[in-house]
Amino acid sequence: KNLQEDNLRAPVVCVLGHVDHGKTKILDKLRRTNVQEGEVGGITQQIGATNVPAHGVQRQTHMVKGFDMSNLNFPGLLIIDTPGHESFSNLRSRGSSLCDIAILVVDITQGLEPQTVESIDLLKKRKTPFVVALNKVDRVFEWESNPAKDIREVIKLQKEPAKNDFDRRTKEIIQALNEQGLNAALFWENPNPRSYVSLVPTSAISGDGMGNLIAMVCDLCQQRLNKRLMFSEELQCTVLEVKTIQGHGTTIDVILVNGRLREGDTIILAGTEGPIVTQIRSLLLPKPLKEIRVKGQYDEFKEIPAAQGVKIAARDLEKAIAGLNLQVAYHDDEVDLLKDDVDREFKAAMRSIKVKERGVYVQASTLGALEALLEFFKANSVPYSGIRVGPVVKRDVMKAAAMLEHDPMYAVILAFDVKVEKDAQELADKEGVKIFSEETIYHLGDCYVEYIKDFKK
């Protein structure tokens, strides 16, 4: 596949772990931004991407003893955040299928929890190398922080009570990892990095160990991924989000894992009304170390090689669907073939969702969000009879209205993060279809659960 031996791309690093263990905060610390506090409901609802270029790696790791930047033969890291809540398992699985390497975040005060274990299973299944961030080490009893020092020294400098507490908690977590079938050790005690997972104590609040974490990820990439990171011209690109940006209209955020994108390329991707064929108007990259989801300044490029999180501006993206692969047609006669490919992939994803004969109608802005929403409803025994990715239009209301005959309690549209067209709302009011529209998945689920309670009174 014309792999380029002396040209490595940035590894895609996925951050996984149980909710609230500090995934987003670790990325915030790297970026020195505050995405975690700015998020709706404090939950990461989509996969975001952060570019950490080589000079960023250098800046973050200067205190790490024995870490030699000159060995680094890839151009930096591309880090993907994933949501930790239970009902996002589809998104987590999609995130982990994109990534070359992972950081598993474990709160040192909490140990392994259900989504930690689920993440471990995903990583094992895909044989993805990973390191464990033993996060919130600042919460260790009488811990004294020193982010300017190598974490090994910081630990040596702790007083007896902190040391004991740290040792006890670490031992327990190693034990729990053993029970999951993993050998694990603190990274400086690791007898064999090929068969033992390394633990790196970190604090996303104080910054302790953050340099060591980055250095560890880079070391693991060097040791394990040299072949895998060889740049290939074969395009591998996944759409993460569809977004409207001032001055650029509707754009898509993609993860370009391999190959390259060029201004003017003909791209083909899934849309709510069938495959979309359009030309790339501009290729945009966020300024280095800025999260792609944070509003701000973008740089424009003529050509972008993998791996990068890229924003694409083009016409006709309003109906694009996130969560699936994007293709490029290099010749006109490829367009129809690729349209078929894209259509097939989308239909397969929708078919894998089983709907009931009677139930609510569910709509979301992205395939990933739709899947997450449906997981939530399944867990709460809410049946669904119809699903769609895209804004609420009259046609959706008519479908939901069909439930009025069977079971009025299901004559409901649950819309997550999508527009409700004015004429659709008017029709709904006239027909007696209730539309719930919310910006967080849990609010939406809870709203309906409340509604049902009242309905049954």
Q: Shortest gap between Cβ of 18 and ligand GDP (angstroms)?
A: 7
Instruction: Give the number of residues in contact with Mg ion, rule: CB under 5 A.
Output: 3
85 in active site? yes
Q: Shortest gap between Cβ of 292 and ligand GDP (angstroms)?
A: 16
> Does position 135 bind ligand GDP by CB under 6 A?
yes
Helices and strands (DSSP H and E) totals, the chain = 14, 22
Query: Do residues 9 and 229 touch, judged by C-beta distance below 8 A?
Result: yes
**What is the rounded end-to-end Cα distance, in angstroms, of the chain?**
64
Distance CA 380, CA 91 (A): 19
Q: Which does 204 bind (CB under 5 to 8 A by kind): Mg ion, ligand GDP, none?
A: ligand GDP
Distance CA 339, CA 432 (A): 39
H or E stretch at 251: strand 249-258
Which residues in 40-99 contact Mg ion (CB under 5 A)? 44
- Read off the tokens for 18: 């149980």
Distance CA 7, CA 15 (A): 25
Q: Which does 119 bind (CB under 5 to 8 A by kind): ligand GDP, Mg ion, none?
A: none
Q: Shortest gap between Cβ of 376 and ligand GDP (angstroms)?
A: 17
Residue with tokens 């160990």: 209
Residue (of 311, 304, 308, 326) closest to 11 by Cα position: 308
Of 18, 21, 55, 85, the active-site residue reads 85
Q: Which does 138 bind (CB under 5 to 8 A by kind): ligand GDP, Mg ion, none?
A: ligand GDP
Nearer to ligand GDP, 137 or 237 (CB): 137
Residue (of 62, 64, 61) closest to 77 by Cα position: 61
Nearer to ligand GDP, 56 or 84 (CB): 84
Q: Shortest gap between Cβ of 106 and ligand GDP (angstroms)?
A: 10
Q: Cis (ω within 30 of 0) for the bond into 307?
A: yes
Which residues in 5-44 contact ligand GDP (CB under 6 A)? 17, 19-25, 36, 42, 44
- As to burial, measured by CB atoms within 10 angstroms (0-12 exposed, 13-18 middle, 19+ buried), residue 171 is exposed
3-state secondary structure of 209: coil
Nearer to ligand GDP, 121 or 407 (CB): 121
* Residue number of the CB atom closest to ligand GDP: 22
Nearer to ligand GDP, 271 or 309 (CB): 309
> Does position 145 bind ligand GDP by CB under 6 A?
no
> Does position 293 bind ligand GDP by CB under 6 A?
no
Residue with tokens 């390329």: 265
Segment interacting with ligand GDP (CB under 6 A) among 199-207, 228-236, 343-351, 426-434:
199-207
Q: Shortest gap between Cβ of 20 and ligand GDP (angstroms)?
A: 4
Residue with tokens 């474990």: 106
Nearer to ligand GDP, 138 or 265 (CB): 138
- Read off the tokens for 9: 């791309």
Q: Which does 135 bind (CB under 5 to 8 A by kind): Mg ion, ligand GDP, none?
A: ligand GDP
Residue with tokens 């349209």: 339
> Does position 136 bind ligand GDP by CB under 6 A?
yes
Q: Which does 355 bind (CB under 5 to 8 A by kind): Mg ion, ligand GDP, none?
A: none
Q: Shortest gap between Cβ of 133 and ligand GDP (angstroms)?
A: 9
In 306-439, at which residue ranges do the beta strands (DSSP E only) sit?
308-314, 327-329, 360-364, 384-389, 412-416, 434-438
Beta-carbon count within 10 A of 454 CB: 7
Q: Shortest gap between Cβ of 39 and ligand GDP (angstroms)?
A: 8
> Does position 139 bind ligand GDP by CB under 6 A?
yes
State the angle between helix axes of 422-431 and 394-401 in degrees (0 to 180), rounded to the nearest 10. Answer: 20
> Does position 84 bind ligand GDP by CB under 6 A?
yes
Distance CA 424, CA 422 (A): 5
Binding characters for ligand GDP, 341-370, by CB under 6 A (x = yes):
------------------------------
> Does position 371 bind ligand GDP by CB under 6 A?
no
Query: Do residues 120 and 128 touch, judged by C-beta distance below 8 A?
Result: no
Beta bridge partners of 345: none
Query: Which residue from 24, 170, 258, 308 is in contact with Mg ion, where contact means CB under 5 A?
Result: 24
State the angle between helix axes of 210-224 and 54-61 in degrees (0 to 180), rounded to the nearest 10. Answer: 130
Q: Shortest gap between Cβ of 290 and Mg ion (angstroms)?
A: 17
Which residues in 205-234 contact ligand GDP (CB under 6 A)? 205
Nearer to Mg ion, 23 or 290 (CB): 23
Query: Do residues 238 and 325 touch, judged by C-beta distance below 8 A?
Result: yes
Segment interacting with Mg ion (CB under 5 A) among 17-25, 61-69, 389-397, 435-443:
17-25
List, by residue number, the catalytic residues: 85
What is the contact surface with Mg ion in residues (CB under 5 A)?
23-24, 44
What is the contact surface with ligand GDP in residues (CB under 6 A)?
17, 19-25, 36, 42, 44, 84, 105, 135-136, 138-139, 203-205
